[in-house]
């Protein structure tokens, strides 16, 4: 067993120092009926090459993104991650460090988190950001709870363009809550959440680009919310869009939540991802999650520590602002390195490239008989209506080696009106050959 350092001789010697003759004596507090009372029936330990073969066999049964044309988005996006990012996050000192509880010997992680918070604040146009949450969906639920604490009101309105998974997570967090209003899906981009704001509203939640790809008027939503004393929570699932679109903070958002996976992090079948959360400085003490702050050491040198922990569960216990006990440190590191490599120039260029490819995709799709592109506006993602049911169509494309997007019915199974809708995304990795292959396959399948 290559990970266990002791020889049997050393084990015996150590037991001798302890004053025991058998390891079971150290488990004497365990009721005898429960100690070693079973045969696990699990395989025995295995050499590295056999484990590797087993895992490769499992991986080989999946169709990877690079295996063919790929247009799947809807909250997770396939972008290129520079080799430098993955190399650096595998540095032992980053990868195998724990939460920076001892700041004097954790300055690498802490300075990185401070830089990450700065990047997120600049991207979103907000005053402050935390050091990451689990992901965008749980971050949205936390933002909703934060808005309730801030306004001391209860009503929450979720727009029909919010990612259905995010809506479902908020529903699970606020189980059976009569003050949660979920507007129905708005694939055409027509739904108007602004009519639902009243004096009891704590916050409205608006996603842009929304689940169907439409860009939303944040300024108008902010003004309407503020007029009734409510807050505006802006949700972003494709953070690359911020390279081209105006920052929500500049348009009046009060809390911005984003999924940060697009920058530095692979698709990973859904996780680990990272939640970005940014807000106004007067709301800091109601912001959930970890925060890193600047300070000085005993000699006056600049240094960083985790701070404002009096909001947290390890101090406030049942009075804590949330039960969150961790952040996505390593994913935040990957995000921060990739963002530093891009810089303003590279990030803007990346966003333009994504939008340009999406424009090409939209134009090509619009020319396919039996396909209607629903979006007038989009960043890198759009919704099409097809003349045949979408789920079967996506399966048929998959058999041809093309991952052609997400049938909306997979996320909204009870709404028959979305049965013929597909959400598709293009990124910088989408080629003209990919687009041509998709359109040719669609033309044949829809004929």
Q: Enumerate residues 327-366 that contact another protein by CB under 8 A.
A: 327-333, 337, 339-350, 352-353, 355-359, 362
393 scored as a contact of another protein (CB under 8 A): no
CA 193 – CA 202 distance, rounded (Å): 14
> Would you say 201 or 381 has its CB closer to another protein?
381
- Give yes or no for residue 174 binding another protein (CB under 8 A): no
Provide the mask over 32-61, with x wherever binding to another protein is found by CB under 8 A and - wherever it is not. -xxxxxx-xxxxxxx-x--xx-xxxxxxxx
Q: How far is the CB of 440 from another protein (least distance, A)?
A: 19
How many whole angstroms separate alpha carbon 111 and alpha carbon 92? 17
Round to whole Å and give the CA distance between 347 and 338. Answer: 9
When asked if residue 258 is in the footprint of another protein (CB under 8 A), the reply is no
Give dist(CA 371, CA 168) in Å, integer: 29
Asked whether 259 and 75 are in contact (CB, 8 A), the reply is: yes
Burial of 267 per CB tally in 10 Å (0-12, 13-18, 19+): middle
**Which residues are within 8 A (CB) of 418 and not within 5 positions of it... i.e. 6 or more apart?**
185, 187, 408, 409, 412
Please pick, from the candidates 152, 184, 199, 269, the single residue that binds another protein as defined by CB under 8 A: 269
Asked if residue 385 binds another protein (CB under 8 A), the reply is: no
Nearer CB in complex with another protein: 385/428: 428
Indicate the residue among 41 and 369 with the shorter CB distance to another protein: 41
Instruction: Select 46 or 200, whichever has its Cβ closest to another protein.
Output: 46
**How far is the C-alpha of 192 from the C-alpha of 194, rounded, in Å?**
5
Give whichever of 35 and 198 is closer to another protein, judged by the CB atom: 35
Residues numbered 135 to 164 that lie near another protein (CB under 8 A) are 135-138, 163
Give the C-alpha separation, 16 to 75, whole Å: 57
Binding to another protein by residue 277, rule CB under 8 A?
A: no
Site string (394-413) toward another protein, x via CB under 8 A: xx--x----x--x---xx-x
Task: Work out how close the CB of 441 gets to another protein at its nearest, in angstroms, rounded to a whole number.
Answer: 14
3-state secondary structure of 70: strand
Q: Does 286 bind another protein (CB under 8 A)?
A: no
List the one residue from 179, 188, 226, 308 that touches another protein (CB under 8 A). Answer: 308
Residue 234 touching another protein (CB under 8 A): no
In terms of CB distance, is 91 or 198 closer to another protein? 91
232-261 per-residue burial string, b: 16 or more CB within 10 A, e: under 16:
bbbbbbbbbbbbebebbbebbbbbbbbbbb
Q: How many residues bind another protein (CB under 8 A)?
A: 210
Residues 304, 131: contact at Cβ < 8 Å? no
Binding to another protein in span 176-195, by CB under 8 A: none
403: which DSSP letter? B
CA 442-355-263 angle, to 5 degrees, is 105
């Amino acid at each position: 067993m290559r990970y266990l350092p002791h020889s049997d001789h050393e084990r015996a010697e150590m037991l001798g120092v302890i004053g025991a003759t058998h390891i079971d004596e150290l488990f004497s507090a365990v009721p005898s009926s429960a100690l070693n009372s079973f045969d696990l029936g699990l395989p025995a330990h295995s050499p590295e090459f056999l484990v590797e073969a087993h895992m490769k066999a499992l991986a080989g049964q999946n169709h990877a993104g690079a295996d063919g044309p790929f247009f799947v988005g809807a909250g997770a996006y396939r972008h290129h991650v520079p080799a430098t990012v993955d190399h650096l996050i595998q540095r032992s000192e980053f990868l195998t460090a724990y939460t920076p509880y001892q700041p004097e010997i954790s300055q690498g992680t802490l300075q990185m988190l401070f830089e990450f918070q700065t990047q997120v604040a600049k991207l979103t146009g907000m005053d402050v950001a935390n050091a990451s949450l689990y992901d965008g969906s749980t971050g949205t639920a936390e933002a909703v709870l934060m808005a309730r604490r801030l306004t001391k009101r209860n009503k929450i309105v979720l727009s029909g363009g919010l990612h259905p998974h995010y809506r479902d997570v908020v529903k699970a967090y606020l189980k059976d809550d009569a003050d949660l209003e979920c507007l129905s899906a708005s694939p055409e981009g027509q739904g108007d959440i602004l009519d639902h704001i009243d004096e009891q509203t704590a916050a409205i939640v608006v996603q842009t680009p929304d689940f169907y790809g439409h860009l939303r008027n944040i300024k108008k939503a902010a003004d309407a919310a503020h007029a009734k004393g409510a807050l505006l929570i802006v949700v972003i699932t494709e953070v690359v869009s911020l390279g081209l679109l105006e920052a929500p903070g500049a348009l009046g958002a009060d809390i911005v939540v984003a999924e940060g996976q697009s920058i530095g992090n692979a698709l990973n079948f859904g996780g680990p991802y990272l939640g970005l959360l940014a807000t106004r400085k007067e709301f800091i003490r109601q912001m959930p999650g970890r925060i890193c702050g600047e300070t000085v050491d005993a000699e006056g040198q600049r240094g960083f520590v985790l701070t404002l922990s009096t909001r947290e569960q390890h101090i406030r216990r049942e009075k804590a602002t949330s039960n969150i006990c961790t952040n996505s440190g390593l994913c935040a590191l990957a995000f921060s390195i990739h963002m530093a490599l891009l810089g303003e120039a590279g990030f803007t260029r990346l966003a333009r490239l994504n939008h340009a490819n999406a424009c090409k995709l939209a134009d090509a799709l619009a020319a396919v008989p039996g396909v209607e592109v629903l979006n007038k506006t989009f960043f890198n993602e759009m919704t099409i209506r097809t003349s045949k049911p979408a789920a079967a169509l996506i399966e048929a494309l998959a058999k041809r080696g093309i991952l052609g997007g997400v049938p909306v019915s997979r996320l909204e199974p009870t709404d028959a009106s979305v049965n013929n809708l597909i959400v598709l995304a293009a990124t910088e990795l989408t080629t003209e050959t990919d687009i041509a292959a998709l359109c040719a396959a669609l033309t044949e399948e829809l004929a």
